[in-house]
C-alpha cells in the first residue's frame, strides 16, 4: 500500500505540472464576408489583415492550424486545417482569396452551420486536444438574425472562442451590429472598426488573444488614427461637453475608438489611453480564466485520486472476505474428511493439513496454507489466515 500511495502522489504532481502549462495547440478558422458592402480595395485590406495575423502565429501540428471560409449567399471552404501544412503555402493561399468577387446577400447563419459541419470535424484536421477559435469578419447584420443566433448557439458547443469583427462604414449604424453579441462567445470578443485602413491597429491585440506565444510586433506602414471634424468648428458649450462625454462612455461599452474620434477634435491622446486600458483589462481577464481552469483541473484530479484509493480499499477487503470464505468452506470439508479432529490431536502438536480428496480437484492446492491447526490443552483450534 505504501508503494501505491507514492506512485499516486507522483502521478498527481505530474498532472498538476502539466495542467499548469497552457496548451499551445489552437485550431483557428477565419469566416470572411464577401458581400459587396465594401469596395474591392477595402476587401484587399481585410485579406491583408488576416495575412498579418497568420504570419505572427506559430504554425504546425503541435501549434496553431488555420482554416478559412468565405460566405455571401452561400458559404465556400477555401482550405481546411489539414489542407496546408507549411506556413509559406498557407500565407500564399490567404493572399489568393483577393481574387474573390464581392456579391450576394449576407446569410451568416448558413456560414456558421457550415463551419460546424465541415471545418471543426476530425476528418478535416480538427484536433481533439487543441483549443478552437473562430474569427468572423463581416460588414453588417445577417439577413436572418434569429437563425443566426441559433446557429451560433450550436456552434459554441464545438468552438470555444468566437470573435466578431465588424468592419466598414456600416458599423456607424448601431442597427447593423445588433446580432453581434448573439454570435460572439463574450462581449470582449466583439470589435467595431468603422474605418478599414485602421484594421492594422488591431492585429497585435487579436493575435495575442489567439496565441500568447505569437510574434508580438507592430505592423509597418500602419496609418495613424487622425481626428477631424466634419460637423462644426466652434468650441463646444458646457452642455455639449456633457453630451459628448456621455457618447464617449457608450462607445467604450462597445469596445471601439473610432466613433468618438470623428466627433472629438480635442482628445487625440485619449484614444491611446483607451486602447491601453482595454488591453490591460483583456489580459487580466484572460489570466483569471487560466487560473480558473487550473483550479478546476486540480479539483478533478483530487476527486479521481480519492475514487481510486477508495476503490482499491474496497477491492482489498472483498478479496480478504473471499479468502476467509473459502477457508471456512475448506474447514467444513476437513471436518468431514477427518472426523477425529473433534477429539483433538495432542496439546503441543502443530500441523498443516493438505486436502487430498475431491476438494483438491475443485480448489487450488495453495489453499492449504490458509489453514493451521494450533493444538491447545482442551482440543483443536482451526485458524484462517
**pLDDT tens-digit series, residues 257-284:** 433 443 444 443 434 343 434 444 555 5
Residues forming beta bridges with residue 190, ordered by sequence position = 164
CB 162 within 8 A of CB 148: no
If the chain, 385 residues long, is cut into consecutive pieces of 10 residues, what is the mean pLDDT of each piece?
A: 61 50 78 95 96 94 95 96 93 95 96 96 94 96 94 94 96 94 95 93 92 82 68 40 38 38 41 41 62 89 93 88 68 55 42 42 45 44 49
Q: Cα–Cα distances in Å, from 124 out to 84, 115, 117? A: 11, 11, 10
User: Which grid coordinates belong to 357?
Assistant: 480428496
Element (H, E) at 29: strand 26-33
Residues 6+ apart with CB under 8 A from 166: 138, 139, 140, 176, 177, 180, 190, 191, 192, 193
Angle, CA 73 vertex, CA 149 and CA 94 arms, to 5°: 95
**Residues in the chain, how many?**
385
Give the model's pLDDT for residue 12: 56
Per-residue pLDDT of 135-193, as tens digits, reads 999 999 999 999 999 999 999 999 999 999 999 999 999 999 999 999 999 999 999 99
pLDDT value at residue 334: 56
Side by side, the strands of the sheet bearing 190-193 are: 75-79, 64-71, 26-33, 131-138, 161-167, 190-193
Q: Grid coordinates in use for 107?
A: 446569410
Mean pLDDT of the chain: 75
> Considering just the CA atoms, what is the radius of gyration of the chain in Å?
36
Distance CA 137, CA 97 (A): 14
Give which of 173, 175, 200, 178 is closest to 190, Cα–Cα.
Answer: 178
The answer to whether residues 184 and 190 touch, using CB atoms and an 8 Å cutoff, is yes
Q: Which long-range contacts (CB under 8 A, 24 or more apart) does 379-383 make?
A: 379/342, 379/343, 379/344, 380/341, 380/342, 380/344, 380/345, 382/331, 382/334
| Nearest-angstrom CA–CA distance, 334 and 123 | 66
Q: Quick one: 283 exposed, middle or buried, by C-beta within 10 A (0-12, 13-18, 19+)?
A: middle
Spell 5-26 as b/e; 16+ CB within 10 A means b: eeeeeeeeeebeeebeeeebbb
Q: What is the pTM of this model?
A: 0.55
Which of 17, 97, 26 lies closest to 56 in space, CA to CA? 26
180 Rama class: left (phi>0) / alpha (psi -120 to 50) / beta: alpha
Amino acid at each position: 500500500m505504501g508503494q501505491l500511495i507514492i506512485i499516486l502522489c507522483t502521478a498527481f504532481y505530474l498532472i498538476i505540472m502539466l495542467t499548469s502549462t497552457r496548451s499551445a495547440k489552437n485550431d483557428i478558422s477565419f469566416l470572411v464576408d464577401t458581400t459587396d458592402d465594401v469596395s474591392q480595395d477595402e476587401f484587399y485590406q481585410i485579406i491583408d489583415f488576416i495575412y498579418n495575423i497568420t504570419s505572427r502565429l506559430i504554425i504546425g501540428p503541435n501549434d496553431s492550424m488555420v482554416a478559412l471560409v468565405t460566405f455571401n449567399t452561400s458559404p465556400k471552404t477555401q482550405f481546411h486545417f489539414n489542407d496546408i501544412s507549411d506556413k509559406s503555402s498557407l500565407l500564399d493561399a490567404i493572399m489568393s482569396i483577393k481574387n474573390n468577387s464581392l456579391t450576394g446577400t449576407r446569410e451568416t447563419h448558413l456560414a456558421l452551420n457550415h463551419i460546424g459541419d465541415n471545418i471543426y470535424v476530425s476528418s478535416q484536421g480538427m484536433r481533439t486536444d487543441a483549443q478552437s477559435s473562430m474569427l468572423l469578419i463581416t460588414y453588417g447584420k445577417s439577413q436572418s438574425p434569429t437563425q443566426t443566433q441559433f446557429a451560433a448557439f450550436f456552434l459554441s458547443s464545438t468552438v470555444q472562442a468566437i470573435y466578431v469583427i465588424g468592419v466598414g462604414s456600416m458599423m456607424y449604424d448601431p442597427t447593423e451590429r445588433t446580432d453581434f453579441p448573439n454570435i460572439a462567445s463574450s462581449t470582449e470578443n466583439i470589435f467595431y472598426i468603422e474605418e478599414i485602413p485602421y484594421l492594422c491597429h488591431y492585429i497585435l491585440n487579436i493575435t495575442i488573444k489567439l496565441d500568447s506565444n505569437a510574434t508580438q510586433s507592430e505592423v509597418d506602414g500602419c496609418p495613424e488614427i487622425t481626428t477631424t471634424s466634419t460637423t462644426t468648428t466652434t468650441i463646444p458649450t458646457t452642455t455639449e461637453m456633457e453630451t459628448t462625454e456621455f457618447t464617449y462612455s457608450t462607445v467604450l461599452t462597445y469596445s471601439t475608438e473610432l466613433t468618438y474620434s470623428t466627433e472629438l477634435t480635442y482628445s487625440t491622446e485619449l484614444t491611446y489611453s483607451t486602447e491601453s486600458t482595454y488591453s490591460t483589462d483583456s489580459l487580466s481577464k484572460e489570466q483569471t480564466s487560466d487560473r480558473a481552469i487550473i483550479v478546476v483541473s486540480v479539483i478533478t484530479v483530487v476527486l479521481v485520486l480519492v475514487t481510486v484509493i477508495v476503490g482499491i480499499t474496497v477491492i482489498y477487503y472483498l478479496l480478504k472476505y473471499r479468502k476467509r470464505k473459502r477457508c471456512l468452506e475448506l474447514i467444513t470439508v476437513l471436518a468431514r474428511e477427518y472426523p477425529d479432529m473433534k477429539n483433538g490431536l495432542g496439546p503441543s502438536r502443530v500441523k498443516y493439513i493438505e486436502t487430498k480428496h475431491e476438494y483438491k480437484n475443485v480448489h487450488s492446492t495453495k489453499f492449504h496454507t490458509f489453514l493451521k491447526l494450533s493444538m491447545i490443552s482442551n482440543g483443536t483450534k482451526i485458524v484462517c489466515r
